[in-house]
């Protein structure tokens, strides 16, 4: 079984020393560097290059510069998705953003984690669990989302939060660790 296949199954895999994994990551990093060097006014070139980086895009979207990710092919974004400045996505596993998602500046989405066992960690092993962000979600500035988290449709995550557990649909959530504050209502 390849290291990439292990990663897809949520198993420990060699993310640091496996030559195929390293090559994929370097290729994506080169594309991200190219993207980040484009002038902001080069909208068509930016969109074209981002479609080459990401695994799936739907309709119109905006990803501000700078943008960083590990592999790109594990990221899927829906229509009218907006990722603001300094978005970092460690996409060893799938990261999906629904339609009409707004992500404020300096947000990070980490599918990757490392074992507590020192020997395994020093061998370059890690795991990757998917992150799913539903439709109509607003994520405030400086939010970190850790491996395996799902954020439900219509939820708002307050600035500075660290999302360590799933959040249901239609709530305001905040804090470190992030917790549900209240349901969102029309009022």
Q: What is the mean pLDDT of residues 15-27?
A: 95
Q: ∠ CA(33), CA(37), CA(41), 5° rounding?
A: 135
Q: Return the pLDDT at 186.
A: 76
| 8 A C-beta contact, residue 102 and residue 56 | no
Q: Return the pLDDT at 75.
A: 98
Residue 187, pLDDT above cutoff 90: no
Pairing of strands 125-128, 112-113: antiparallel
Q: Return the pLDDT at 86.
A: 98
H-helix or E-strand containing 35?
A: helix 19-37
Q: Return the pLDDT at 94.
A: 97
Alpha carbon distance 178, 141 (integer Å): 14
How does pLDDT run across 36-48, given as a tens digit for each residue? 999 999 999 999 9
Our CA dihedral for 145, 112, 9, 116, rounded to 10 degrees, sits at -110
How does pLDDT run across 29-73, given as a tens digit for each residue? 999 999 999 999 999 999 999 999 999 999 999 999 999 999 999
Pairing of strands 171-175, 13-14: unpaired
Please count the residues of the chain: 187
Catalytic residue annotation: 114
pLDDT confidence tier of residue 98, bands split at 50, 70 and 90: very high
Alpha carbon distance 4, 73 (integer Å): 12
Arithmetic mean of pLDDT over the chain = 96
How does pLDDT run across 117-144, given as a tens digit for each residue? 999 999 999 999 999 999 999 999 999 9
Residue 166, pLDDT above cutoff 90: yes
Please state the pTM of the whole predicted model. Answer: 0.95
Domains within the chain, CATH numbers bracketed = 3-183 (2.160.10.10)
């Amino acid at each position: 079984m390849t290291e990439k296949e292990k990663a897809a199954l949520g198993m420990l895999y060699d993310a640091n020393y496996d030559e195929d994994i390293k090559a994929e990551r370097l290729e994506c990093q080169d594309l991200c560097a190219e993207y980040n060097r484009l002038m902001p006014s080069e909208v068509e070139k930016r969109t074209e290059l981002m479609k080459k980086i990401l695994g799936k895009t739907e309709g119109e979207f905006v990803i501000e510069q700078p943008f960083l990710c590990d592999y790109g092919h594990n990221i899927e974004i829906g229509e009218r998705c907006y990722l603001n400045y300094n978005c970092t996505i460690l996409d060893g596993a799938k990261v999906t953003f629904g339609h009409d998602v707004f992500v404020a500046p300096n947000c990070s989405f980490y599918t990757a984690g490392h074992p507590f066992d020192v020997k395994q960690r020093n061998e370059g092993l890690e795991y990757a669990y998917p992150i799913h962000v539903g439709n109509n979600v607003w994520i405030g500035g400086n939010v970190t989302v850790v491996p395996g988290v799902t954020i439900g449709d219509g939820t708002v995550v307050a600035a500075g939060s660290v999302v360590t557990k799933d959040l249901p649909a239609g709530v305001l959530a905040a804090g470190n660790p992030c917790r549900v504050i209240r349901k969102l209502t029309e009022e």
